[in-house]
Amino acid sequence: MNGAKSLVETLLKSGVDTCFANPGTSEMHFVAALDQSPGMRCVLGLQENVVTGMADGYYRIAGKPACTLLHCGPGLANGLANLHNARRAKSGIVNIVGDQATYHRPLDAPLTADTDALARTVSAWVRTSTHAEDVGRDAAAAVQAARGRPGQIATLVLPSDASWNEGGRVAEALPLLPPAPLDPRAMDNAARVLRSGAKVLLLLAGQAVGAQGQLLAWRIAQATGAAVMGDYVNGHVARGRGRLQLERVPYVTDAAVKALESFEHIVLVQAKAPVGFFAYPDKPSVHHSPTAQIHTLARPEQDAVAALQALVDTLGVPQAPLPDPGPRPEPARGAPTPEGLAQTVAALMPEHAIVSDESISFGRGFYKHTHAAPAHDWLHLAGGAIGDGLPVATGAALGAQGQRRVISLQADGSAMYSLQSWWTQARERLPVTTVLLNNRKYNILIGEYGSVGATPGPTAMSMLDLGNPNLDFVKLAEGMGVEAARATTLEGCADLMRQSFARPGPFVIDLVI
């Protein structure tokens, strides 16, 4: 058996059965091995940032890692922005990078690059397998690292001779690593703060914004008078009916400072103390009150649900039903507004839908109007590097085995970074409905000009204008095999949503906003 076959067999043994790939010459033996070892679903992405973003979306829904297959340092470099987003979302990915043969590397051929150095910027674990005999062992270790708590990126660099040489050995799956132990002092401290009568915020992120974490946090809040909020961005939030009407710490500095100013204590549950995405002249970088005390109940490498349960037990908190979100909204009518679109999505989304949210400026208020939608999962752009909404939607659909409708709320400028995702959606016949929020500009950056105190002239404004020439998203989608139509009103958008939800396969609604 060659190294490549031992790699595929080991991945399958370790539970990795989906591979997002954009291969080159150095990965040919891996690709050939896929034919010999049935069981690995292989999905082609037409640019590496689509590949890595799909792997991120897959993990967020499947709850287990897929592998990627990337070509040399430059292929990895193309995929780095979405690996960055995946790292922020705490997604586990077995990131496989084929590379120059060990004896060819010193010759400095054109595609030779410092692959390890590129990998280290986003990976918690990096290893190069230089011998076919080691590939299976290293692959099992990579899966174990990727499945850590929280999930993380494990990059396995595979020189082509390690793939094609004989001597490959299939390795057994390694056990899952347990979460880091809880700290009883952190528990006692949080209980003391919550009993003190002071103004306390429980700030949730990561595992804590899942359904179980929300319920426990709500019980604590009900019994102690604390408030509950979620981080502005999270990899995966459980939302809709049967879940807490969790609000996010706002994005805009002034709004975030206002939302947080009254809290004397903030108890972090896998969250970080809130800071701005950016610094702005004369505004604070840290958004909570300067006198607030910050306490950590659970770090990302600990079990947040167990920590919240322990706190519930310590405080002797009774059961508390989640508040009712009220009636499901009706679809809105008229010119598209953020509130109207959110209501329409909430009115029409099927049960257990998945929302991939790269709506940027249009979608900041979507939460408020979607609490009464059926239970669904909401995936954010976790690392701020635009261009992951469409790949994450694609990977999420695959993570759900095509059984759940994905609604991709997608700003136009960000869509253009990884538009090739639509081709993969068409090829794999995935149930993804993209609502393309077409404002023909980098709208958020117009606001950012003001916030940083710059005065934009015509050249500056033209850098934010996507209307010269206009992008025709209907044609772009159709050109990649995805059906599409344009809507200029919310009722038009609702009609197209209904049609698309009733049919298998992808659909793009070009919503002119």
Question: Which stretches of the chain bind ligand TPP, using CB under 6 A?
Answer: 81, 360-362, 384-387, 411-414, 439, 441-445
Task: Please state the closest distance from residue 508 (CB atom) to ligand TPP, in A.
Answer: 15
DSSP label at 465?
B
Cα distance between residue 179 and residue 417, in whole Å: 36
Task: Please state the closest distance from residue 71 (CB atom) to ligand TPP, in A.
Answer: 21
Two structure tokens written together for 244:
């807490």
Which residues, in sequence order, are CB contacts of 322 under 8 Å at separation 6+? Answer: 214, 215, 218, 242, 243, 244
Nearer residue to ligand TPP within complex by CB, 362 or 367: 362
Nearer residue to ligand TPP within complex by CB, 384 or 505: 384
Strand, helix or coil for residue 430: coil
Nearer residue to ligand TPP within complex by CB, 263 or 442: 442
Nearer residue to ligand TPP within complex by CB, 34 or 386: 386
Q: Looking at beta carbons, which residue is closest to ligand TPP?
A: 413
Task: Please state the closest distance from residue 340 (CB atom) to ligand TPP, in A.
Answer: 16
Cβ atoms of 300 and 271 closer than 8 Å: no
H runs (alpha helix) in 210-358: 211-224, 253-260, 304-315, 338-348
Task: Please state the closest distance from residue 391 (CB atom) to ligand TPP, in A.
Answer: 13
Cis preceding-peptide flag for 65 (omega within 30 of 0): no
Task: Please state the closest distance from residue 212 (CB atom) to ligand TPP, in A.
Answer: 32
Nearer residue to ligand TPP within complex by CB, 83 or 385: 385
Task: Please state the closest distance from residue 436 (CB atom) to ligand TPP, in A.
Answer: 10
Two structure tokens written together for 64:
């287990």
Cβ atoms of 113 and 72 closer than 8 Å: yes
Task: Please state the closest distance from residue 440 (CB atom) to ligand TPP, in A.
Answer: 8
Task: Please state the closest distance from residue 75 (CB atom) to ligand TPP, in A.
Answer: 17
Report in angstroms the alpha-carbon separations of 113 from 74, 97, 301, 486: 7, 12, 33, 44
Strands (E), 171-236: 200-204, 227-230
Nearer residue to ligand TPP within complex by CB, 218 or 362: 362
Cβ atoms of 278 and 298 closer than 8 Å: no
Task: Please state the closest distance from residue 389 (CB atom) to ligand TPP, in A.
Answer: 9
Nearer residue to ligand TPP within complex by CB, 292 or 511: 511
Nearer residue to ligand TPP within complex by CB, 366 or 442: 442
Cα distance between residue 219 and residue 60, in whole Å: 26
Residue 340's identity, in one-letter code, is: G
Nearer residue to ligand TPP within complex by CB, 80 or 191: 80
Which residues, in sequence order, are CB contacts of 98 under 8 Å at separation 6+? Answer: 23, 24, 26, 27, 30, 69, 70, 71, 72, 158, 160, 163
In terms of phi and psi (left: phi > 0; alpha: psi -120 to 50; beta: otherwise), the region of 240 is left
